Amino acid sequence: MSQALGNHILVEFMNCDPHIMNDVAAIERDMVDAAKKAEATVINSTFHHFSPYGVSGVVVIQESHLAIHTWPEYGYAAVDVFTCGEMNAWIAFDYLKESFQAKSYSAIEMKRGSVNLLTRNDFDISTMRQKANEWVNPGFYTRNVWFTDKDENQALSLRFTGEVFYDQQTPFQRVRILESYKYGKMLALDDMVMTTEKDEFHYHEMISHPSLFMHPNPKNVLVIGGGDGGTIREVLRHSGVEKVTMVEIDGAVIEACKEHLPKIAASFDDPKLTLLVDDGIAFIEKAESETYDVILVDGSDPVGPAEGLFSVSFYTHCYRALKKDGILVAQGESPKFNEKAFRELNLTLQSIFGKENAPVSLFFVPTYPTGMWSFQYGMKGNINRIDDSKTESIDAFVREQGLRYYNAAIHQSSFALPNFVKTLIQ
């Protein structure tokens, strides 16, 4: 066979997993790993996620390149691997076929740069080096990878650095810790943002402190979900709380956050905490009646493992497990992003706790779609929800603990709602 400078394989990967085809971080990792498996020397890589879907990218290797374009809606990837020297491109092909879970594929192989057709020049290589040194990167090219939390019509996107600190598919969900430019590291469950380093305090202060200040003497607290640890960290700031039980279904969330989000997962070693890696729904069904002063339901959105945390049966058991003055606070979704879930949860709580005893508290989380989010309450007893006499103690607590969201004025207006939200839950 005549000599050639390079070898090029053009590959069609078909019927691939569409989620992988839309996962820019996974594709970049797989392409770089494919190059390494084939014993190439990786120089650089750049990958881009397109909105709403699709990924393009290239891995530059000492031996030429690997490039990809994906169409997740067709489960299709167009890949080319160009090599020179001894590198075997088919090793990269085999690796990618497995990684993308391609059920069918085809490929053509071409020799590139046939030496019979080429004439070698003598050129002054020193001029080329000088030119290369003079060249200044105009900085046109920036990494542009976005994590998008969305439904069919709305989305919240965070530009992320491409760093993936943790990525595991557990029996319950896909658990990821990624790094965003604006909000630092973040925990994502499936494709939903759960919490980020820079705005986690909005959520965690607001799920815990209002109810703990509304209750006359909260001692025994149950947290369902909350695997990142932010909620128990806030609850344990209250010296009067004697016992906290936390029931999280997915141990991987706890482990990932302990390792990569230690400021959020800061209180797992507290002696007042009893940590159970278990199903919160099964737990509450078996819980003793009239046991807890406060129950905090720090669940995910009502899809996947958290779906049952929005059911009548679950909240009926929560009601039973609360003491007579007990307060329930549940992650209540958004009246803008998810009106249906927001409204249905409120109707559920009204039906169990009574119409007047199911108030809603709104707060802001920049990294959740629409930014407007809620906690929904169930008040079992006649709690004086907004007690002026607490103002000084709240202010002192806020100062001592260095809180950044909650304060006495927010406490006073805990249940103030815009008119459209009032209408939604009437």
Q: Are 247 and 283 in contact (CB under 8 A)?
A: yes
Q: What is the DSSP letter of 105?
A: E
Closest separation in Å from C-beta 231 to ligand SPD: 6
Point out which span in 73-81, 223-231, 250-258, 388-396 binds ligand SPD (CB under 6 A): 223-231
Cβ proximity to ligand SPD: between 124 and 152 the closer is 152
Q: At what angle do helices 200-214 and 391-401 cross, to 10 degrees?
A: 140
CB of 373 to ligand SPD, least distance (A): 7
Q: Which is nearest to 242 in space by CA: 212, 283, 263?
A: 212
Judged by CB under 6 A, does residue 226 bind ligand SPD?
yes
Could you say whether residue 345 binds ligand SPD (CB under 6 A)?
no
Q: How many helices (H) and strands (E) does the chain have?
A: 13, 18
Stretch that binds ligand SPD, among 161-169, 285-293, 296-304, 318-326 (CB under 6 A): 296-304
* Residue 194 interacting with ligand SPD (CB under 6 A): yes
CB atoms within 10 A of CB 124: 8
Using CB under 6 A as the binding rule, whether residue 82 contacts ligand SPD is answered as no
Residue 374 binds ligand SPD (CB under 6 A): no
Q: 223, 8, 212, 12: which is closest to 107 by C-alpha?
A: 12
> Any contact of residue 228 with ligand SPD (CB under 6 A)?
yes
CA distance 43 to 65: 9
Q: Which stretch binds ligand SPD (CB under 6 A): 28-36, 92-100, 107-115, 187-195?
A: 187-195
| 367 binds ligand SPD, rule: CB under 6 A | no
By CB under 6 A, residue 377 contacts ligand SPD: no
Task: Check binding of 147 to ligand SPD (CB under 6 A).
Answer: no
According to the binding rule CB under 6 A, does residue 230 interact with ligand SPD?
yes
Cβ distance to ligand SPD smaller for residue 99 or 331: 331
Q: Does 375 bind ligand SPD (CB under 6 A)?
A: no
Residue type, 38: A
> For residues 257 and 358, which CB has a smaller minimum distance to ligand SPD in the complex?
257
298 binds ligand SPD per the rule CB under 6 A: yes
327 binds ligand SPD (CB under 6 A): no
Which residue's CB is nearer to ligand SPD, number 194 or number 244?
194
| Cα(252)–Cα(250) distance, integer angstroms | 5
H/E run at residue 201:
helix 200-214
Q: Of 203, 375, 397, 406, which one interacts with ligand SPD (CB under 6 A)?
A: 203
Query: Of 150-158, 226-234, 340-348, 396-404, which segment contacts ligand SPD by CB under 6 A?
Result: 226-234
410: number of Cβ within 10 Å: 19
Is there a contact between 186 and 177 (Cβ–Cβ < 8 Å)? yes
Q: Is 298 a catalytic residue?
A: yes
Instruction: Give the separation between CA 68 and CA 407, rounded to whole angstroms.
Output: 51
Q: Does 301 bind ligand SPD (CB under 6 A)?
A: yes
| CB neighbour list of residue 363: distance below 8 Å, 6 or more residues apart | 202, 203, 206, 373, 374, 375, 405
Q: Which of 183, 368, 375, 405 binds ligand SPD (CB under 6 A)?
A: 368
Asked if 378 and 327 touch (Cβ cutoff 8 Å), the reply is: yes
Question: What whole-number distance in Å separates Cα of residue 249 and Cα of residue 301?
Answer: 14
At 89, give phi and psi (nearest 5°).
-65, -25
Stretch that binds ligand SPD, among 191-199, 235-243, 322-330, 339-347 (CB under 6 A): 191-199
Asked whether position 302 contacts ligand SPD by CB under 6 A, the answer is no
Q: Rule CB under 6 A: is residue 208 a binding residue for ligand SPD?
A: no
User: Measured at the alpha carbon of residue 369, what is the angle toward residues 366 and 375, in degrees to the nearest 5?
Assistant: 75
Q: With contact defined as beta carbons under 8 Å apart, do 312 and 352 qualify?
A: yes
Instruction: Tally the C-alpha atoms within 13 A of residue 233's C-alpha that lie toward its C-beta.
Output: 22
Q: Which of 298, 301, 387, 395 is catalytic?
A: 298
Nearest distance in Å: CB 186, ligand SPD: 11
Active site residues: 298
Residues in the site for ligand SPD, rule: CB under 6 A?
192, 194-195, 203, 226, 228, 230-231, 298, 300-301, 331, 368
